[in-house]
Chains A and B, each alone.
Chain A
Amino acid sequence: MAQDNRLPPPHGLLIDRDKPVSFTFEGRRYEGFAGDTIASALAANGRWVLSRSFKYHRPRGVLTMAGQDGNSLVQLPGEPNVLADREPIAPDMAVTGQNYRGSLDRDRASVLGWFGKFMPVGFYYKAFYKPGNAFKFWERIIRAMTGLGRVDLTARPGYCDKAYGFCDVAVVGGGPAGMSAALQAAEAGAEVILVDENPALGGSLAYARFDGDRGRADALRADLAAQVAAHPGITVYADAVAQALFADNWLPVARGNRMYRIRARAVVAATGSMEQHAVFRNNDLPGVMMGSAAQRLIRLYGVKPGSRAVVVAANDDGYGVALDLAEAGVDIAAIVELRGKPGTGPMASAAVASGFRVLPGHGVKEARASRGHRHVTGIAVAPLDGDGKPTGPEERIACDLVCMSTGHAPNAPLIYHGGGALAYDGETAMFAIKSLPDHLFAAGSVNGRFNLDAVLADGRHAGRAAARDAGLDAGADSEALADREAANQSHAFPMFPHPGGKDFVDFDEDLQYADIVHATLEGYDDIQLLKRYSTVGMGPSQGRHSAVAAVRIAAKATGRPVNAVGTTTTRPPVGPLKFSHLAGRAFEPVRRTPMHHRHLEAGAQMMVAGPWMRPAWYGAPAERDTAIRREVRSVRENVGLIDVSTLSGLEIRGPDAAAFMDRMYTFAYRKQPVGRARYVLMTDETGVVIDDGVACRFHDRHYYVTATTGGVDGVYRTMLWHNAQWRLDVDVTNATAAWCGVNLAGPKSRAVLQRVCRDIDLSPGGFPYMGVRMGRVADIPCRVLRVGFVGELGYEIHAPADHGEALWDALLEAGRDFGNVPFGVEAQRLLRLEKGHIIVGQDTDGVATPHEAGLDWAVAGTKPYYVGKRATLIQKQAGITRRLVGFTTIDPNAPVPEECHLVVRGAEILGRVTSACRSETLGKVVGLAYVAPGQAEPGSRFDIKIQGGRIIEGEVVPLPFYDPGNRRQEM
């Protein structure tokens, strides 16, 4: 079969017959044309079944041809749930159906359809849990059946990126209303972005029929599209989906592999309306589709949707569909008119004049199918009684196509996203816009206008209003706006429940008429409860076709007006939106210090530290322990060098710098002499320790403050946050990236530094412990801090970042014959632990206070305020419940407790080990642990629960473990 259903031009607006494309579906090869979607190309070849439904595994095919339904979701090798009616075919694309066992045409799981009566609405709440743990068994079966498409675990995301767009007016929807709005706004001088999901502008003008001979729509489309293309103020994003409307007119627009983030001053939603299906038995058969779907197949893709059709109509559009079908060579078996009389509009008149058989006042009893339900073969209709039930003598009409033109619902997701509201209008039997948020305007059929002249006027009106809203002079509204005239567009209850069921309300979820009624009667009679209980509207089409039907059924079942049942909202995204589109290039930048490559050259093992990479140790992974020992020994005996660039640095400058420091940190800074460093400790309002570092005073009005590696950004934010209230005269700058730093530590560090630094007096008297100086090291202008984290004589040298490698090289070179080696974070952790220094975040936690952490010495008691002072005072008075202490193990050969092993007393948890190691230098295990206050005195013993639940005994010892007299760091 080679495209037997293909129609000659002018049908097929979007396809290029000169470019055949060959692809496969379910392993069989098909031919289509460039511009075809998967669904249209398959339809051209007479292939209608595309997928299997979620619950009953019913065959499903084309429903909307607009990407609005879940029936046409197919599988590509690397991509599940692809909209067959939107996705263009590509050469050798291998498409398959979804959700079947065996083959798509003969799905073994389709027997589930026979058990439909045993699967009432919410059936899983009513069973599967008895006896005992039965759900564990059933769950496996349910999980084996659930889901639609398959993910390919080897797939990798393709390239996606983002771009930004800015405009005065963004118009969403390129139909007659959208194009008029865009032109009108652009005429007023607005920069306009026009977004349309189709490859070519035109919207309904491209496929629908607005009058008897349809010539006007063609001419109008060509004319408006040409005007739009020619207007310099309009940028068109075609084949692009405006996926949401977020706060402040923020529109993500997905096109190809790019997501445009568009900020508009005003937005016009000209998003049209969606045809709503009729509910009758077997309304899900392939071959039963929206009237507009048949028109799209014919006009856009040149595909004849069947050979003999029945149109189920309740509006004038249905007659237009019949005219289009006849023009495409389809026999019109009948127009089943749900209303009492044939339509009276121009298309109805033309259709009646063409001699089509119209059955007014008729309803559908059921659609009939061939074996296996793979295609519709006929339809049974009957005259309607006073209650709208088809109860008269039944007539069976053979056909292979049923088109439904029974009503519309506004396509209003952007209006919901923006905070607008819709309410059901009983007169027109449609939801209508009740309110719109600021800067959002609506035009066309989304706004209840269907007559072409009214649509165009509405578009112009919205375009002017949007331009005006964007601050432009759009002139006066010269033309009067037609009233909303949605009457006769929608039938109030196009539903014909059948005792045998399979009269689907929600195709995604296989929900039938009775399911909605039963859920309502079971007490889930608010639309939100109904939705959650029955899952109506929860599937891939998100209620586009089921929501209106469901509220109507619930209203009828409970005898309430539709609005009393409540309304649901529509949430972003508008359509399926790929994760990779959202992620974009999603970079999570790795921060490297200026000396990064020196570390790699020296064989460092790098570790993640906050956003940074830091050297853990220098040497092969297998040599971890020996490498760390070697580095420790070098620092204790000679000298070592560590990259501390990640710890720097905030610049605090201004007349109020000292006052600001006094408020931000717990210690006292007003009297800190220039040229001296002082420990800084930050608490939050609840008195919890959140960061520490060192403040260097280089001038009365200038402090240079370090922070923890992961903490500096948070500290900076906190400072700005507080000063936004305090309004102190101070500038705070996060200069971390501008500075690099190295710490030169060890008894021989002075000798090393002396070789490369001549303009600072390095003598113990000239540059004492906790002094800070500015000077040149290896000819680089530096800030030199005489501070010690590791307990040895040491200098921290901060230089402009681009001198990092030069500084590193110079210091290593100068120290070569002193045994200077680089050391990593692991060695530093051991060294500082021997010295009893804490690491904020390791030895403190989310609730640790200065008093608990043994940092009371860093809290100034006399100053009037610092962040957290009140809390700290209250806690001090109330007494602490735990205390961080230094400890060693009673048994020197006991295993080293791991960080976070618990300190226990029987069943009670008293605290935990926060740091521990076996110290080579001291020849014993040393560690820090939280213990109960009563255990905190040196000599107290406590139990530690280590690996495997074993208990070992620890003893509190005074800090620091190493060099208690501090002679080494102060030499």
Chain B
Amino acid sequence: MPFGLLKYGFSRTYPVWRQFPPRPDLKPSYDVVIIGGGGHGLAAAYHLSRYHGITSVAVLDKGYLGGGNTARNTAIIRSNYLTPEGVAFYDEALRLFQGLSHEFDFNILYSERGHLTLAHTDAAIRTSRWRAEVNTHLGVESRLVFPDEIARIEPTLDLSREARYPVLGALYHVPGAVARHDAVAWGYGIRAAERGVELHPMTEVTGIEQADGRVTGVVTDRGTIKCGAVIQAVAGMSSVVAGMAGFKLPIRSIPLQACVSQPLKPFLNTIVVSGSLHIYISQSSRGELVMGSASDPYVLYSTRSSLEFTEGLMGHILELFPFLGDVKLMRQWAGITDMTPDFAPVMGTTPLDGYYIDAGWGTWGFKATPACGKNMAELVATGKVPDMIAPFTLERFHKFRMLGEKGAASVGH
């Protein structure tokens, strides 16, 4: 029994620790307003308050905190990307994740499981080798493994040659991990609030005020607030909110679905991804199989789920794990992903001065949370674009200077 729990057992009255303060009234103005109270927005708020001494910050969210894609993703953390820019950025995120429980004094249940991206074709083997070479060159632990080693890493996988798409090899990314996604948002929120950041859930932004090309305020359904700077971190609604600020994003918003099985005794060690079969699967600390597939084939802002998703997914899950036929699906849901043309995010300045964007997170936003919050906070606090996020500027699309993350970002959540 860990010591931390003894007080709960031995106290006569339950030692309540109020983690989230009640929602305050909106003040007339703040130094920084963050639109979006998900992991990214809360992480930026935390970094502003903890490392830059900026505490006049309001985080606004139209729903409850962490209720958007932070609540809907499948909690996978990895840095086995394809471009040097991507690898450097996601590796910083991964390192920050590893220390978050201590940073927060709140367990985010960070669990290093190893991440296998299966290759069923020659082309996939090539991409795997490419990622392995880039990762290794940049000091990230990834390597190309073949069926005999895969069988040792994940013995339950069907590696028979008779399968429709036999497994020819895999990219094995040892640091691949999962964490409790909600806890990441809560940890940032709790510690930011402690330092004076105001959290305003159930507060919808309806407009952006500007003068002379500079943002001056934010209109909400609870009144208008003035501010010196705005960070927009509203995955799934990025184009809509950017539209309020008066600029366009090269983003298409597409639903991505996921689901969980009933709880089972653990049998799956690693996070298994198959690009050819469009699936990924891991087993949570509750014993549930957490599963997802490719994005839906249409643009939509509705988070409805579909039958086609689970039908297609299960056909492929049973290809890799034929013994799961009698396991039961428990819940399915959808989130909206903001896809950029080059499958890389957008971070940095915008045509509107003082208005900073954190968008285009497609299907890879959760794993970026700490690095994104850190760099966005630095940007807002110093007014200088940190080198690490400079390649992710919105401007690159006007210049067609795109980042080639397609091969690493698509299904490989």
User: Which chain A residues have a beta carbon within 8 Å of chain B's beta carbons?
Assistant: 54, 78-81, 115, 117-120, 123-130, 134-136, 138-139, 142-144, 146-158, 160, 244, 246-247, 250, 252, 261, 419, 514, 518, 521-526, 528-529, 532-533, 535, 538-540, 542, 566, 571-573, 576-580, 582-584, 586, 588, 590, 607-610, 685-687, 710, 841-842, 845-847, 871, 874-875, 878, 898-902, 904, 907, 909, 912, 945, 949
Beta-carbon contact of B126 and A842 below 8 Å? yes
Known interface pairs A156-B325, A523-B21, A608-B165. Does A901 touch B330 (Cβ–Cβ under 8 Å)? no
Shortest CB-to-CB span from B112 to chain A, Å, is: 8
Q: Which residue of B lies closest to A881 (CB)?
A: B401
User: Is B329 engaged at the interface, CB distance under 8 Å to the other chain?
Assistant: yes
Taking CB atoms and an 8 Å cut-off, the chain B residues in 98-146 that contact chain A are 101-102, 106-112, 120-123, 126-127, 129-130, 133-134, 136-137
Beta-carbon contact of B6 and A582 below 8 Å? no
Shortest CB-to-CB span from A81 to chain B, Å, is: 5
Of listed B6, B262, B286, B313, residue having the most chain A CB within 10 A: B262
Beta-carbon contact of B325 and A155 below 8 Å? yes
Beta-carbon contact of B183 and A125 below 8 Å? yes
Shortest CB-to-CB span from A267 to chain B, Å, is: 15
Shortest CB-to-CB span from A141 to chain B, Å, is: 11
What residues of B have a CB within 8 angstroms of the CB of A144 in the complex? 266
A interface footprint on B53-67 (CB within 8 Å = 1, 0 otherwise): 000000000011111
25 residue pairs bridging A and B, Cβ less than 8 Å apart: A81-B327, A118-B6, A123-B5, A130-B2, A146-B287, A147-B287, A148-B264, A149-B265, A151-B264, A154-B323, A155-B325, A156-B322, A157-B322, A158-B325, A522-B19, A524-B19, A528-B63, A532-B182, A540-B263, A576-B329, A578-B327, A582-B329, A609-B121, A842-B123, A846-B407
Shortest CB-to-CB span from A134 to chain B, Å, is: 8
A317 to B195, CA, bound (A): 54
A634 to B2, CA, bound (A): 73
A566 to B325, CA, bound (A): 36
What residues of A have a CB within 8 angstroms of the CB of B305 in the complex? 246, 571-572
A132 to B167, CA, bound (A): 37
Beta-carbon contact of A902 and B137 below 8 Å? yes
Beta-carbon contact of A608 and B8 below 8 Å? no
Of B133, B317, B329, B330, the contact of A945 (CB 8 Å cutoff):
B133
What residues of B have a CB within 8 angstroms of the CB of A566 in the complex? 64
Known interface pairs A127-B4, A135-B107, A871-B400. Does A576 touch B330 (Cβ–Cβ under 8 Å)? yes
Q: Which residue of B lies closest to A117 (CB)?
A: B9
Beta-carbon contact of A878 and B267 below 8 Å? no
What residues of B have a CB within 8 angstroms of the CB of A584 in the complex? 311, 315
Shortest CB-to-CB span from B322 to chain A, Å, is: 5
What residues of A have a CB within 8 angstroms of the CB of B324 in the complex? 151, 157, 579
Shortest CB-to-CB span from B86 to chain A, Å, is: 12
Report the 4 A-B pairs with minimum CB-CB distance, sorted nearest first.
A147-B287, A157-B325, A586-B315, A846-B406
Known interface pairs A148-B264, A523-B20, A526-B201. Does A582 touch B110 (Cβ–Cβ under 8 Å)? no
A interface footprint on B148-169 (CB within 8 Å = 1, 0 otherwise): 0000000010000000111000
Shortest CB-to-CB span from A883 to chain B, Å, is: 15
Known interface pairs A119-B5, A147-B264, A156-B322. Does A246 touch B307 (Cβ–Cβ under 8 Å)? yes
Shortest CB-to-CB span from A589 to chain B, Å, is: 9
A904 to B134, CA, bound (A): 10
Shortest CB-to-CB span from A102 to chain B, Å, is: 16
Shortest CB-to-CB span from A832 to chain B, Å, is: 15
Q: Which residue of B lies closest to A899 (CB)?
A: B126
User: Which chain B residues have a beta carbon within 8 Å of chain A's beta carbons?
Assistant: 1-6, 8-9, 14, 16-22, 63-67, 71, 84, 101-102, 106-112, 120-123, 126-127, 129-130, 133-134, 136-137, 156, 164-166, 180, 182-183, 186, 201, 261-267, 285-287, 304-307, 310-311, 313-319, 322-333, 341-343, 399-407
Known interface pairs A127-B107, A147-B265, A522-B19. Does A579 touch B328 (Cβ–Cβ under 8 Å)? yes
A124 to B110, CA, bound (A): 11
Beta-carbon contact of B400 and A126 below 8 Å? no
Known interface pairs A147-B263, A586-B315. Does A156 touch B323 (Cβ–Cβ under 8 Å)? yes
What residues of B have a CB within 8 angstroms of the CB of A247 in the complex? 304, 306
Of listed B14, B182, B325, residue having the most chain A CB within 10 A: B325
Beta-carbon contact of B318 and A580 below 8 Å? yes
Of B111, B304, B319, B322, the contact of A246 (CB 8 Å cutoff):
B304
Of B14, B111, B127, B333, the contact of A135 (CB 8 Å cutoff):
B111
A205 to B180, CA, bound (A): 45
Of listed A524, A686, A900, residue having the most chain B CB within 10 A: A900
Of A583, A871, A900, the contact of B130 (CB 8 Å cutoff):
A900
What residues of B have a CB within 8 angstroms of the CB of A155 in the complex? 322-323, 325-326
Q: Which residue of A lies closest to B260 (CB)?
A: A538
What residues of B have a CB within 8 angstroms of the CB of A533 in the complex? 182, 186
Shortest CB-to-CB span from A165 to chain B, Å, is: 14
What residues of A have a CB within 8 angstroms of the CB of B304 in the complex? 246-247, 419
What residues of B have a CB within 8 angstroms of the CB of A153 in the complex? 156, 267, 323
Q: Which residue of A lies closest to B306 (CB)?
A: A246
What residues of B have a CB within 8 angstroms of the CB of A514 in the complex? 14
A522 to B71, CA, bound (A): 19
A579 to B326, CA, bound (A): 6
A579 to B332, CA, bound (A): 13
A136 to B135, CA, bound (A): 25
A578 to B201, CA, bound (A): 37
A586 to B320, CA, bound (A): 13
Beta-carbon contact of A878 and B307 below 8 Å? no
Beta-carbon contact of A522 and B318 below 8 Å? no
Of B111, B133, B180, B332, the contact of A571 (CB 8 Å cutoff):
B332
